[in-house]
Amino acid sequence: MAWKATDIRGVDVEAQETPALSEQTVSEIRALFDRYPTRQAVLLPALHLAQAQIGYLPPKALLEIAGLLELAPAQVLDVVTFYEMYWRQPKGRKLIQVCRSMSCELCGQVGLLDAIKAKLGIEEGQTTPDGQFTLIAVECLAACDKAPVVLVNETLHEKVAVKDLDEILKPE
Ligand code: FES
């Protein structure tokens, strides 16, 4: 029996005619082929490019990447589910990552996380209804001497206090 890819709603992903990956993303992925020894080695950057375009990695995008890299869809899914930085569901435009490791915890991370939850009205792992923010707690962000730290998309905020949250959590 052949594999059949369906999304979370049971929709047949392969029957969807509109490609998930833009022509631009496909050409950026193809441009990587000469830089890596195998197509499989292109998988991580290809996933990053797809996620940068779409915001997350829907099943259709995974199938298209598998096709481009001549991999089985299961190989792609294995990688996506192994790493934390790949998202299989939509996330907010701003991803708030609060460090929960020891240095940050000793420097007030718990109160900070509670204040962020209260301010956004969401729990860890949730996204605000307007799609602005997703909140997660993560392990050490390698800035322990600046604890507590909060990473908002690509921007690291250091020695964060509750009073700083209005500025840090400004909607776009
Ligand atoms: S413990 Fe928070 S950055 Fe290392």
**Annotated domain spans of the chain:** 13-82, 94-168
Quote the ligand 1 centre to 115 CA distance (angstroms). 18
CATH code, 94-168: 3.40.30.10
The CB of 51 under 6 Å from ligand 1? The reply is no
Beta bridge partners of 151: 97, 156
Look up residue 21 and give its DSSP letter.
Answer: S
Pair 110, 149: CB distance under 8 Å: no
Query: Does the CB atom of residue 143 touch ligand 1 within 6 A?
Result: yes
pLDDT digits (tens, 9 = 90+) for 28-87: 999 999 999 999 999 999 999 999 999 999 999 999 999 999 999 999 999 999 998 899
Say what the pTM is.
0.74
71, 111 in Cβ contact below 8 A? no
CB 99 within 8 A of CB 138: yes
User: What's at 59, amino acid-wise?
Assistant: P
- Indicate the CATH number for domain 13-82: 1.10.10
Q: What radius of gyration, in Å, describes the C-alpha atoms of the chain?
A: 19
